[in-house]
Amino acid sequence: MLPPAKQAEVLPIQAPRPRGSVISVEDLSVAEIGEVLALAARLEAEDPLRRMNRLLKRKVALLFYESSTRTRTSFELAAKALGADTALISSQSSSIEKGESLKDTGITLKSLGAECIILRHLSSGAPYLLERATGLPVLNGGDGTHEHPSQALLDLRTMLAHLRGGLTEVHEKTLEGVTVTIVGDILHSRVARSNALLLPRLGAKVVLCGPPALLPEIATQIGPGLAIERDFEKALAASQVVMMLRIQAERLAGVHLDLEDYKSRYQANAPRMAAFAPEALLMHPGPIIRGLELTSEVADGPQSTIAEQVRHGVPIRMALLARALGADGEVAAPPVAKAAKKSPAANPRRRA
Ligand code: CP
C-alpha cells in the first residue's frame, strides 16, 4: 500500500524568514549591504572554475510572471557562473496559464529540488507569500510597484564606482554630499522605491521629481529624508546623480498624462543636461524609451551609465545568490586546478 501523500508544509505566519531572502532593501543592514558589495567584487575577480564550485549542481528556479530582459538574464548568468543548475518558469509557457496558484507553483518547484527562487511578479508583496509557502530563500526580481532590491544594489555599485572609487565598505555617511534626483513615474516605480529606501541610509539626499499625476505629495512617505522638487531644471542643478524612469504605460490606467507636456518639462535632453547638470551621472534602470523620458543623444552620451548598470547586475546577483545559498565563504580550489598544480612526477600519464 502506498504511504499517505505528504502534505505540503506551509510555514506559519510567525515562522522565521529563511536566511538569505532579499525581498526589500530593508532586509539588509548597512553592514550587510557592504558585505554584498564586497562579495560581488570578490566573485567578479574569482577564478571562474573556483567560482563554479560555489553552487555546483545546486538548483535555482527563476519564476517570472512578467517580462524581463536585464533581471532575468543577469540572474540566470549569475547562477550559472556559480555552477548552479537553473530552471526558468515563465507565466506564458507553464501551468500558471492553466490557473495554478503562486503557492502551488512554489511548492512544485521546491519538490523538484529548487533551493532558492527568484521571483518577478505583477503583484506587490507576492515574494512574501512565496517565501512563506516554500520556506525557501526568495530573491525579489521586482514585485508590482513595491520593490526591486537587486536593481537598487547594482545602482548603488554603479554610483560607488564613479563617485567613491569602487568602495565596498559602506556606512551611514558614504554618500554624504551626494544628491540623487529620481525623475518621472515614481508612483508606479519599484526601482524608485528601493533606491529611495536604500540611498538615504548611506547618507545620500534623494529628491523625487515629476508631475503630481506621477508623483503625489504622499510619495515623501516612502521613507525618511525624501524631498519633492517639481522643477526638473532646478533639481538637475543640485544633483550629482540623475535617475530617469520609464513611463510605465502598462500601469497608467486612470492616470491622465499629456506626453508632449511631460517631455517639455521632464525629458533629459542634451541642451538641458549641458545647461543644468553637465557633470552628473545619468542613470536609468531600463528598459528605456528613447525620445520619451530621455533622448538618444543622452542615452548614448558620455554621462550615461545605462550599459554599465546592466554590467553590474551580474556580480551583484552572484553575491545575492551565493549569500542566499550559504556559499559566500571561502571555497576549495576545483579538482581541475588542483591536478594542474601537481608535478609531472605525480601524474604518470603526463610522464608517458
Ligand atoms: N531594470 C529591469 O528590471 O529591467 P528588466 O525589466 O528588463 O528586468
Residue nearest to atom 3 of ligand 1 (CA): 71
Residues of the chain with pLDDT under 50: 1-8, 339, 343-352
Q: Among candidates 89, 120, 92, 123, which has minimal Cα distance to 107?
A: 89
User: What is the pLDDT at residue 3?
Assistant: 43
User: What is the pLDDT at residue 4?
Assistant: 45
User: What is the pLDDT at residue 346?
Assistant: 42
Peptide bond into 211 cis (omega under 30): no
User: What is the pLDDT at residue 47?
Assistant: 98
pTM: 0.91
User: What is the pLDDT at residue 334?
Assistant: 66
Ligand 1 atom nearest to CA at 148? 3
Please indicate whether residue 149, judged by its CB atom, sits closer than 6 Å to ligand 1.
Answer: no
User: What is the pLDDT at residue 330?
Assistant: 80
Q: Among candidates 229, 227, 215, 234, which has minimal Cα distance to 272?
A: 234
Q: Among candidates 274, 204, 290, which has minimal Cα distance to 240?
A: 204
Ligand 1, pocket-test mutation among 63, 66, 70, most atoms within 8 A of CB: 70
User: What is the pLDDT at residue 272?
Assistant: 98
Q: Among candidates 170, 201, 229, which has minimal Cα distance to 24?
A: 201
